[in-house]
Amino acid sequence: MTVSLEQLRRCHVAVDLGAARTRVYVKGMGLVVDQPSVAAVNTRNGALIAVGEFAEQMTGRTPDYIRVMRPVSGGTVVDIDMAQRMLRHLLGEKLRRQLRRKPRLRAAACTPHEADPLAQRATVETLVGLGARRVELVDTLIAAAVGCGLPVEQPTATMIMMCGAATTQVAVLSLGSIVTAARIPVGGEAVDHAVIQHLRHQHELMLPSQSVRPLQIALSENGLTLQGPSTTEIHGRDVATGLARSVRVDTAAVRDAIHTPLTAVLDGIGRILRDCPPDLVADLADRGIMMVGGSALLPGLDQMLRDSTGMPVHIAERPDVCAVQGLGEMMEGNVASMVLSPLTA
């Protein structure tokens, strides 16, 4: 971690701008925002109409003059101005007034592992535009590891897998730093996409864009594990006629469809384990892999990982909010700092 715990302790607000959701933690108050990273804009006059949950519900249902925008893509802020407007509204007037009272507002934000300097700059500029005088950036993997209670500062290796919407990041951590890590450009969105494509090709069924939670609809209750139900009913629209139709879908076939994007993730984990020093691999075999990020809740993903690595796999208690929670813990001073000072004879 390049930024010190001391610097983080001086921050007032922590932000995690994700491709799917935006989360904000305010020191002394806890998690105050956890909403989709979506904004709806009136293209006639540029006015913001809705943000967060409400804007997401508008997706695919808007008249021409309303555009639903996602200012964060692939873990990077791609539209700084829109991200600032969205954050301003998500925070609300009352909270903004409280933060404005701080004479030198300091913010912490997490960035994807090895984010390029331009992406980091975009995050910093977004928060500076909201009044932050200083912005500390923390690797999202370290923040999430702290957030889910992994003993990051100890000399035993731990493995964390962050399953986000746009990317999956995996790292081996020891002594408060990243030993090896990989960022795989496959996440929950790619999995959703694979299911939609499967339904379209095999059943000529289109899902309304709002049901881009197809997995949850189709496969709730362990549908993705071998013990789950063998078929499930899905409602959608016929590709040819456009009429509403429902079909019975074979869950095993859906499981196969999502295997394709997940193979890339499993390959990434294999690569990490190969790059890891043998002593650490022994630790990992004991402690296993900790899954965090919203897509860690994908039914059956943990079992798939267990089968392919032979290692124990755990899902964090609140996997979706681990990163911002970790930033919060560091900000509140709940994390003991690790001092590696030179030994004196």
Q: Does 164 bind Mg ion (CB under 5 A)?
A: yes
Nearer to ligand ATP by Cβ, of 153 and 189: the residue is 189
Q: Does 119 bind ligand ATP (CB under 6 A)?
A: no
Nearer to ligand ATP by Cβ, of 193 and 245: the residue is 193
Nearer to ligand ATP by Cβ, of 164 and 236: the residue is 164
Q: Does 268 bind ligand ATP (CB under 6 A)?
A: no
Which residues make Cβ contacts (< 8 Å) with residue 299, sequence separation at least 6?
A: 215, 219, 220, 221, 222, 223, 224, 225, 228
Nearer to ligand ATP by Cβ, of 55 and 280: the residue is 55
Q: Does 189 bind ligand ATP (CB under 6 A)?
A: yes
Which residues make Cβ contacts (< 8 Å) with residue 211, sequence separation at least 6?
A: 217, 236
> Applying CB under 6 A, which of residues 124, 215, 249, 284 lies at the interface with ligand ATP?
215
CB of 297 to ligand ATP, least distance (A): 4
Cβ neighbours, 10 Å, residue 334: 10
> Applying CB under 6 A, which of residues 71, 176, 268, 294 lies at the interface with ligand ATP?
294
Nearer to ligand ATP by Cβ, of 75 and 261: the residue is 75
Q: Each residue of 275-312: b (16+ CB within 10 Å) or e?
A: ebeeebbebbeebbbbbbbbbbbbbbbbebbeebbebe
Q: Does 166 bind ligand ATP (CB under 6 A)?
A: yes
Q: From residue 228, how far is each of 219, 256, 261 by CA, in Å? A: 8, 14, 21
Q: Does 302 bind ligand ATP (CB under 6 A)?
A: no
C-alpha 210/C-alpha 339 separation (Å) is 49
Which residues make Cβ contacts (< 8 Å) with residue 63, sequence separation at least 6?
A: none
DSSP per position, 60-118: T---TTEEEE-SEETTEES-HHHHHHHHHHHHHHHHHHHHHTSTT-EEEEEE-TT--HH
C-alpha 102/C-alpha 134 separation (Å) is 12
Stretch that binds Mg ion, among 101-109, 160-168, 205-213, 218-226 (CB under 5 A): 160-168
Cβ neighbours, 10 Å, residue 97: 10
* Interaction residues for ligand ATP, span 41-80 (CB under 6 A): 75
Nearer to ligand ATP by Cβ, of 146 and 280: the residue is 146
> Applying CB under 6 A, which of residues 68, 83, 132, 165 lies at the interface with ligand ATP?
165
Q: Does 319 bind Mg ion (CB under 5 A)?
A: no
> Applying CB under 6 A, which of residues 71, 187, 223, 236 lies at the interface with ligand ATP?
187
Cβ neighbours, 10 Å, residue 176: 19
Stretch that binds ligand ATP, among 19-27, 224-232, 261-269, 282-290 (CB under 6 A): 19-27
Q: Does 20 bind ligand ATP (CB under 6 A)?
A: yes
Q: Does 326 bind ligand ATP (CB under 6 A)?
A: no
Which residues make Cβ contacts (< 8 Å) with residue 234, sequence separation at least 6?
A: 199, 203, 205, 207, 214, 217, 218, 246, 247, 248, 249
Stretch that binds ligand ATP, among 49-57, 101-109, 119-127, 293-301 (CB under 6 A): 293-301
Query: Encoding tokens for residue 244?
Result: 């509403």
Q: Does 205 bind ligand ATP (CB under 6 A)?
A: no
- Give me the residues that bind Mg ion (CB under 5 A), please: 18, 164
- Give me the residues that bind ligand ATP (CB under 6 A), please: 18-21, 75, 164-167, 187-189, 192, 215-216, 293-295, 297-298, 320
